[in-house]
Amino acid sequence: MLALRDVDSFYGSSHVLHQVGLEAKSGEILAVLGRNGVGKTTLLKTIMGLTSSHTGAIEVDGASISEMQTHQRARSGIAYVPQGREIIPDFTIRQNILMGCFARKDGKRAVPELAMELFPYLADNLNRPGGVLSGGQQQQLAIARALAADPRVLLLDEPTEGIQPNIVEEIEAIIVRLNKEVGLTVVLVEQNVGFARQAAQGFVLIEKGRVAEAGPTAELTDDLVQKHMAV
């Protein structure tokens, strides 16, 4: 569903990703792991066309998106939930969700029923400002906004970071449900190795902007985690 081949990515003159190749198969979760600052967030931004420039091939379902602008990549079926969520605090919950609809191909402008089913608190408070929500509720809102785009591929950047523990398990369960029941392909940047092992079918370990290790999750050994993630 999503493939990168020999991708280099830059912020101005800063060369961050080097010859990155990976594949997220249709209907699977691919976990992207590594220490802080190794290029995981840059990887997702590169897929969305949010870095200064990149070279190499990026494909969705076999079609190249490498020359597309960010809004065109979104319309190709990729939704992105960034680190920090980036909801608009003065917009209502409803308005924040509807922002995702601008990436839909069918022109539909409606809060998706799936999001209301997954996030009952949001459904009951659509007219509240997004800025009054807790961190966990804002994460739910960011995922709901992504679902409004009707994506085929969902990019999630550390979706449980900074969230109260009682909400973390709920967010994790929703990610698994979106993959298993809805069939979304998910690229998950995550520091929680336990969750990655539980949820993902494949993994990529990033080290200094390069793919250091990759394979099925069964091959994500404690030795690899210690080598590439221990501080």
Kindly report the average pLDDT of the chain as a whole number.
Answer: 95
What is the chain's Cα-based Rg?
A: 17
Looking at residue 36, its pLDDT comes to 94
Residues 160-187 as b/e (b if ≥16 CB within 10 A, e otherwise) read bbebeeebbebbbebbbebbeeeebbbb
Statement: residue 84 has pLDDT above 90: no
Statement: residue 85 has pLDDT above 90: no
Statement: residue 231 has pLDDT above 90: no
The full DSSP string for 96-111 is HHHHGGGG-SS---S-
Structural domains in the chain plus CATH codes: 2-229 (3.40.50.300)
Looking at residue 145, its pLDDT comes to 97
Statement: residue 37 has pLDDT above 80: yes
Percent of the chain with pLDDT strictly greater than 70: 100
Looking at residue 18, its pLDDT comes to 98
